[in-house]
């Protein structure tokens, strides 16, 4: 996030989080809170984050594989054309497809209507190790349901508390809940809906209902205001994202997700077996030729593992430095401590690399001896 170029001047989690007294009426949907720079800066930054996010996602996935309980759920809300689909596709394109689970929520089916409104949501929650993405969510049950009178007031009124309790349980069981509301201006939405009508390749995204929904604009704004006031909690806050600039909303969501996952302090799981012992066992059935190939790969393998790892660590340092004031002594001490940790870890890995090479050289020799004896006839 180079100095002098565009970038985040404030953690977007701070810049976009709903605070007491938040007013949607006064919210500028064309603004770029916390970001300094133009579209190309935002896009470049987003790309940069891709590699890091992908590694963090893999770590989360690995943790889930060995019995970890953690997962991340991104709830994406917004009116038609706000960019929900674009954001979800964008986030998903940056990580391994097997590590994300997307669910879109439309009008409930008959079966779903027979159950509690959270029933279909519970069935779609991300398993441990996954990043779940909801394109619309349980919040529709206090948005469209409230605006269109699909349930009596006393029913939807109690849902706010039910949602808070539900999300609290979710967080307590190890899921980090990130809630993004994409807020587009009425003018911009008009333009985007017109675009959908103009373009034969976009008409499929248009529904007759969109014009009717737009007609209830003010009621939706009020319903969203109530959502922010009543369901932005310490455990699952809302991030309200200005969505008139699509690049901004994508960059912001990518950054919030990345920062959140950095804070999860995801390591690589430690195996319950010893690689040195396992190498001996594996080598028994390997030719000296194959072992030599493996020996020559060793340095590259380990060094790229270190480099990739270091990249994550460096990012962490960069983030901490930018988070705090650079002249702030505690922040700098922390930065130095992290750097020292990176160095120590690197030294440890290099020492292991030396021992691995020695072991492999010995294994090549042993295989050679075995092969010579074999040819000698037994």
Residues in contact with Mg ion by the rule CB under 5 A: 80
- The span from the CA of 232 to the CA of 234, in Å, is 7
- The span from the CA of 326 to the CA of 259, in Å, is 19
- The span from the CA of 134 to the CA of 156, in Å, is 20
Position 323 contacts ligand AMP (CB under 6 A): no
- Which of residues 220 and 247 has its CB atom nearest to ligand AMP in the complex? 220
Instruction: Kindly indicate which of the ranges 133-141, 175-183, 265-273, 314-322 contains the residues binding ligand AMP, using the contact rule CB under 6 A.
Output: 133-141
In the complex, what is the shortest distance from the CB of residue 89 to ligand AMP, in angstroms, rounded to a whole number? 13
Whether residue 75 contacts residue 177, with contact meaning beta carbons closer than 8 Å, is answered with yes
- Please identify which residue in 2, 30, 107, 123 interacts with ligand AMP, judged by CB under 6 A: 107
In the complex, what is the shortest distance from the CB of residue 251 to ligand AMP, in angstroms, rounded to a whole number? 23
For residue 305, the surrounding DSSP H or E stretch is helix 288-323
- The span from the CA of 164 to the CA of 94, in Å, is 30
Q: Which residue is nearest to Mg ion (CB)?
A: 80
- Please identify which residue in 11, 58, 140, 334 interacts with ligand AMP, judged by CB under 6 A: 140
Q: In what order do the strands lie in the sheet with 238-242?
A: 100-104, 131-135, 71-78, 175-183, 238-242
- Which of residues 45 and 145 has its CB atom nearest to ligand AMP in the complex? 145
Partner in contact with 108, chosen from Mg ion, ligand AMP, none, beta carbon below 5 to 8 Å by kind? ligand AMP
- Which of residues 136 and 332 has its CB atom nearest to ligand AMP in the complex? 136
Instruction: Fill in the DSSP letter of residue 17.
Output: B
Whether residue 355 contacts residue 280, with contact meaning beta carbons closer than 8 Å, is answered with no
Partner in contact with 275, chosen from ligand AMP, Mg ion, none, beta carbon below 5 to 8 Å by kind? none
- Which of residues 178 and 193 has its CB atom nearest to Mg ion in the complex? 193
Instruction: Kindly indicate which of the ranges 38-46, 99-107, 325-333, 345-353 contains the residues binding ligand AMP, using the contact rule CB under 6 A.
Output: 99-107
Q: How many residues sit in the footprint of ligand AMP (CB under 6 A)?
A: 12
- Which of residues 127 and 212 has its CB atom nearest to ligand AMP in the complex? 212
The footprint of ligand AMP on residues 181-200 (CB under 6 A) is none
- The span from the CA of 81 to the CA of 244, in Å, is 10
The footprint of ligand AMP on residues 62-91 (CB under 6 A) is 80
Position 39 contacts ligand AMP (CB under 6 A): no
Quickly tell me which residue has 């290099």 as its tokens. Answer: 350
- All residues at 6 or more sequence positions from 273 whose CB lies less than 8 Å from its CB, including other chains: none
Instruction: Fill in the DSSP letter of residue 140.
Output: G
Whether residue 230 contacts residue 26, with contact meaning beta carbons closer than 8 Å, is answered with no
Instruction: Kindly indicate which of the ranges 125-133, 137-145, 169-177, 223-231 contains the residues binding ligand AMP, using the contact rule CB under 6 A.
Output: 137-145
Rg (C-alpha) for the chain, rounded Å, is 26
- The span from the CA of 65 to the CA of 61, in Å, is 6
Q: In DSSP terms, which residues pair with 158 in a beta bridge?
A: none
In the complex, what is the shortest distance from the CB of residue 202 to Mg ion, in angstroms, rounded to a whole number? 11
Given the rule CB under 6 A, which residues bind ligand AMP?
Answer: 80, 105-108, 136, 140-141, 144-145, 150, 209
């Amino acid at each position: 996030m180079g100095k002098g170029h565009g970038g985040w001047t404030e953690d977007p989690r701070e810049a976009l989080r709903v605070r007491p007294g938040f007013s949607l009426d006064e919210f500028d949907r064309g603004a770029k809170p916390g970001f300094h720079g133009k579209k190309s800066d935002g896009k470049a930054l987003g790309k940069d984050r891709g590699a890091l996010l992908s590694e963090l996602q893999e770590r989360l996935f690995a943790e889930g594989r060995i019995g970890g309980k953690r997962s991340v759920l991104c709830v994406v809300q917004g009116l038609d054309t706000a960019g929900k689909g674009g954001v979800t596709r964008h986030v998903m394109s940056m990580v391994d497809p097997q590590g994300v689970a997307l669910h879109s929520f439309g009008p409930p089916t008959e079966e779903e209507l027979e159950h509690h409104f959270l029933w279909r949501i519970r069935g779609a929650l991300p398993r441990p190790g996954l990043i779940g993405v909801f394109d619309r969510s349980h919040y529709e049950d206090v948005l469209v349901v409230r605006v269109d009178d699909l349930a009596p007031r006393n029913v939807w009124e109690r849902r706010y508390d039910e949602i808070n309790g539900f999300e609290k349980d979710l967080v307590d069981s190890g899921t980090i809940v990130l809630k993004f509301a994409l807020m587009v201006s009425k003018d911009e939405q008009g333009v985007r809906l017109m675009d959908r009508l103009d373009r034969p390749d976009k008409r499929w995204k248009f529904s007759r209902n969109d014009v009717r929904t737009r007609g209830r604009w003010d009621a939706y704004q009020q319903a969203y205001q109530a959502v922010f006031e009543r369901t932005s909690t310490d455990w699952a806050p809302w991030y309200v994202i200005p969505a008139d600039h699509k690049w901004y909303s994508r960059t912001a969501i990518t950054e919030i997700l990345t920062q959140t996952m950095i804070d999860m302090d995801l390591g690589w799981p430690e195996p319950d077996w010893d690689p040195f012992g396992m190498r001996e066992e594996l080598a028994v059935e390997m030719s000296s030729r194959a072992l030599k190939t493996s020996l020559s790969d060793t340095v590259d393998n380990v060094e790229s593992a270190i480099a990739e790892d270091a990249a994550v660590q460096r990012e962490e340092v960069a983030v901490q430095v930018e988070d705090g004031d650079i002249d702030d002594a505690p922040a700098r001490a922390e930065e130095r401590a992290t750097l020292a940790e990176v160095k120590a870890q690197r030294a440890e890995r290099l020492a292991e690399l030396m021992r691995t090479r020695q072991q492999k050289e010995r294994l090549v020799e042993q295989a050679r001896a075995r092969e010579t004896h074999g040819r000698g006839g037994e």
